[in-house]
Structure 1
Amino acid sequence: MMLVYYLSMNIFAGDDFERIKELYFIERDRIKAVELNKKKAPEEERLQFKLHDRLKKSLLEIEFNTYCNDSDFENPDEIDFLEIAEKFHCDYDPDTNTYNRVKRGLLLFFFEKLEDMLESNDHAEGVIDTVLEKMTRINMFVSQQRNLVSDRTRLKEENQKLLRKIKKLNRDISALTLPPPKKKTPDRQEREINELKKKNYYLQSKIESLENRVAELEDEKKANKEIKENITINHENPVGEGLELQDFFSIVISGGHWNSRTREEVLEEFPHNEFIFVPADRTIRNIDTIENADLVIFDTSSHSHGYYYLVKKKASKLLHIAKSSPTEVKALFNKPTVKREKGTAQFY
């Protein structure tokens, strides 16, 4: 007992004991400081978000962490954080700079990326629409060119056949003139020669007609390259007294884009007239029809200026519309028509 008493009275006394106490309190304060520093770590260390795969260490990862750190905003006063809160149906706390306890930079990042994505999507849709429209026009042009090539090939073949026939007939004529004259009456021989001359004349006329046709198709091919949408014609329709529908029977609509439904509506509006729809690219081959019509309506929604002057020269009466619409056609005349049985229509 005496030994225990001695130790208790002397072991916790003196300079050594005071040094031990000092070291204890220093270590305790150091541990508290470390724990406090962990809680107060820099914002950029606590908000280092790591993206994966292709986005790892990318510019997007850097930008994402920049948004998550409020101190890196260039002009935070110019950002309408309340407007963003309304868009996402959440509450904004300006004291803590959070949306429903979520850092405002995180929501702002996704908001601006969503705006960029929507803008890119709108641009992409516009590009797709433009590409589809161009492809449709290209397909139409290719189809028209195929038809022209087919017609030209057929006409060339017919022309070659006729040339071969003419050569044969010329040989026959030569054979008739070279041999010694047979015992034929002058009248019979003269008749045979006249018949051969008639056949030769007919074939020559046919060849000239085919050559003219080939030339017309060549001209048509060149003119069709000038067909455009919504061309401008400096001419007003001479609508006035005396311009009534019953004055006309045969009406040609030249150009435009007319489908079966709009053609049907025109026939219902004008039951007592014959309508002939001639597409712009077939103007030359139907110029006789245009010339013989009582009235020609020139549709500028799809046509060319070159065809306009040709139609104007051939048509006995000429009106204009700017849209392939039955309403546009009806507006050309003074008096509305009464709907009865449908009229007749042709489409070339």
Structure 2
Amino acid sequence: MTALPPGFRLAGYRVEQILGRGGMGIVYLARHPELPRSDAVKVLDTATAGPDGEAFRARFLREAEIAAALDHPHIVTIHNRGTEGDRLWIAMQYVPGTDGARELDRLRAGLGLRRSLRVAAEVAGALDHAHGRGSLHRDVKPANILLAATDGRGDERALLTDFGLAKIVDDAGDPTVAGTVFVTPSYASPEQLRGDRCDARTDQYSLAASLFHLICGQTPFPGATTAEIMRGHLADPVPRLSSRAGDVPPEVDAVMERAMAKDPDHRFAGCGQFVAALTQAASTPRAAYAPTRQRPVARPVVAPPRGPVPTAVILAALMALGVVTAAVLYLVL
């Protein structure tokens, strides 16, 4: 996808600079055509639309409206959306600061338990708000958790962004569509990788996997290939977070194991309930456990895939692992 140059005008917005690139497009800082502010404008890569471009365009516009209806202090606000030529764009609240993935790159060893729990509580509130309105995120990951400084003391506010793949749950008016769906393997739930039905507990799993990474600086199932990462989510037990981070008491491990259960029925009822249980477990006095600084990893550690991976790649990896033996259609629900 070719980037738009500074000064380019899109639907009245004047492009100032690139804020980031993702698997679905490019995000720009762009000057609002009328108001004295700059917004974050995401332009989607039309190559992701596949052969049925008109259906993709209609879904995009509808999903943007779903996201725009979410009003929560920890969800990035959607200001507008539209099309111009063959470009699909969505204008969002610009959040100066950083995000979870960049902080992990900067700190290497993770954000630590206390800071990560504060971030998780705010993101969990955002997800429970969205779930209560029938909306799923489907791609919760550190890169989609924005961290905005709010005052001179260094306090920060977490905001969840990119509800672009969200769909209304059980919307009978929207026909089920078989096509390309993007997930980020390092944080994807087993049901997403299998192509099963997703619900609010899917986002809870991805939040837990993201929190695991934020706390200790490692993804729960590292691997040298996408197939190895996926095998971990599908078949391996959840690793003990306390063995990878010295400030994490063993009581946390059982909570993480439940939030990342292979069977969604074994997870918590909501994201807020998960983070509340985790916070209580993390409050165990240090004298009650013997923390370790060792961080054993069963597989070679490589940088997790940042961008989402299309279904075709997932299917190939699953077949290579022997998880499926026939074509699997990932249904966009």
Whose helix fraction is larger, Structure 1's or Structure 2's? 1
Whose strand fraction is larger, Structure 1's or Structure 2's? 2
TM range (shorter): under 0.3
TM-score normalised by the chain length of structure 1: 0.19
- Higher relative contact order (CA closer than 8 Å, sequence separation 6+): 2
